[in-house]
Amino acid sequence: MSPIISEILKIKVAPTFQLDSPAFERLRDAVVKGGVKEQYYGMSMDDPDKLLWVIHWPGDESTAEYKGPQWESFRESVKALDVNSAPASWYLPFDDADKVRPALTAPICELCYVHITSPKSLVADSLHKTFTDCYFAEGFDGGYWATALNDEKMNYYYLGWSTRELHKAYSKTELFAVEIDKLIPHMDSGEADFMKFTQQLS
C-alpha cells in the first residue's frame, strides 16, 4: 500500500474560468513535478463558479503539507486563481489511494463534510456508520472518509454514485437519517458538492 495525503481544494473562480486554461494547467503540472501521481478536478454541479481539485500527495501524516520545490510560489498561484484570494484546503490521510478512487472515478462524485463540535470519541461510531450505510443504497459506487489533519473536527467523505437521482432517493430514506440525526446535535456545519471529475494520472 502507498499512503497518501489527499488534499481537497475549493477555489472560487471567475465566471470566465475554463478547466483547460493555461494557468490551471501550469498548476497541475507543478504538482506532478512535486511527485503527485493522481489528481482530480471538476466544477461543482450546484455552483458553476466553484472549482474542486483533489490532489493525492505522496506520503503520510509526517508529510501532511508537501514542501517541494517552489512550494510558496505554487500556493500563491493557487491563491491567485481564487477571486477572493482565499481558497479552502483540507488534508485527508489515507493508507492507500485505492480507498477513495471508486468515488473519484464514479459517474457522480459527492464530496461532503461533517464538522463536529463534540469530541470525536463521542460520535466516532456515527461518523463511520453514516459512510458504511451507503453500501445499502442503490447506485452507491464506493469511497471512504477521513478526518482532516489541519482541522481535527472536519470529517470529509468521498462518495461515488451512479446517478444524482439515486443519491437523492437514498437521502430520503430512514436509513440515511439514522446517523445524521445522531450527529446533528454534535455538529455546526455540513455541506456536499457533486461533480464529474476529470482524472489526471502521471
What CATH code is carried by the domain that includes residue 137?
3.30.70.100
Asked whether residue 202 is assigned to any structural domain, the reply reads no
pLDDT one-digit tens code per residue, 16-74? 999 999 999 999 999 998 889 999 999 999 999 999 999 999 886 555 455 544 578 88
Q: Residue 34 domain-assigned?
A: yes
What is the percentage of the chain residues whose pLDDT exceeds 70?
Answer: 94
Q: Could you tell me if residue 121 is inside a domain?
A: yes
Q: Do 93 and 103 belong together in one domain?
A: no
Residue 31 and residue 55 in one domain: yes
Q: Work out the number of other CB atoms within 10 angstroms of the CB of residue 83.
A: 14
Amino acid found at 130: T
Indicate if 122 and 192 belong to the same structural domain.
Answer: yes
**pTM score, whole prediction:** 0.94
Q: Look up cell 500563491; give the residue.
A: 76
Q: Within this chain, do residues 166 and 152 fall inside the same structural domain, yes or no? A: yes
Same domain, 73 and 116: no
Mean pLDDT, rounded, for 165-191: 97
